[in-house]
Amino acid sequence: MMKRSTAIFLASLVFIPVAGGCNTEPDNAFAIKVTPNAPTPPPVPETNEGELPDPSNPFTPISTSTQGSWKLKSGQSNGADLPPFMVEKTFLRIDGENYDVELGGNPDKGTVSQDMTTSPFRMTIKGVEGTNEGKTMLAIFKMPNESTLRICYDITGTDFPKDYKSTSENGFFSFVYKRQP
């Protein structure tokens, strides 16, 4: 049975909105950098709903529109699957430069910037209010289709993950979200 403090800690990290580098943007900045005239990526294999894709078979996002409401479908923390109650009660919303996460009454709000000049794409997340206030988290992300968002977070803000694997050694969080209407 998970202790309450562990559950709250994990809950605060669900949108570990979630891995290196140094962010030189101002705290309130939101930047989406797109390479002009970039070729359209080829079609990519889809996964079953909520399934974590095979990390040895990387795919390129076909859409970079992370804006909107998302529901957590599956996730791993430190190499272990998240408890079902966390998956069921976790929602993410990205609105412009802002994000907010709701997990069983534990809010987390802040800013998110995206860098699409890298491969994989990167997110820098800064907690402004709630459980991650004052923290910077680094993440990579991809969208294999219009309704799926895959994010892998380094909640320590040390370095951007290189892949979407969550292990007990790296301490990363790897989540699959489904777009909500």
Q: Each residue of 45-91: pLDDT tens digit?
A: 454 544 544 544 444 444 458 999 999 999 999 999 999 988 999 99
Report the percentage of the chain scoring pLDDT > 90.
56
C-beta of residue 136 within 8 angstroms of C-beta of residue 23: yes
User: Out of 5-9, 39-43, 86-90, which region has the weakest mean confidence (pLDDT)?
Assistant: 5-9
> What CATH architecture applies to the domain 59-181?
Beta Barrel (2.40)
Report the percentage of the chain scoring pLDDT > 70.
64
Return the residue matching tokens 């993950």.
161
For residue 170, list its beta bridge partners.
none
Q: Could you count the other beta carbons within 10 Å of the beta carbon of residue 55? A: 12
* Strand stretches in the chain, DSSP E: 32-33, 68-77, 80-81, 90-95, 98-103, 106-115, 121-130, 136-145, 148-154, 173-179
* Calpha distance 131→148 (Å, rounded): 25
pLDDT of 20 over the 50 cut: no
**How many H-runs (helices) and E-runs (strands) does the chain carry?**
2, 10
127-143 per-position pLDDT tens digit: 999 989 999 999 999 99
For residue 178, the model assigns a pLDDT of 97
For residue 18, the model assigns a pLDDT of 37
Domain spans in the chain, listed from the N-terminal domain onward: 59-181
CB neighbour class for 163 (10 Å; exposed up to 12, middle 13-18, buried from 19): middle
Parallel, antiparallel, or unpaired: how do β-strands 173-179 and 148-154 relate? antiparallel
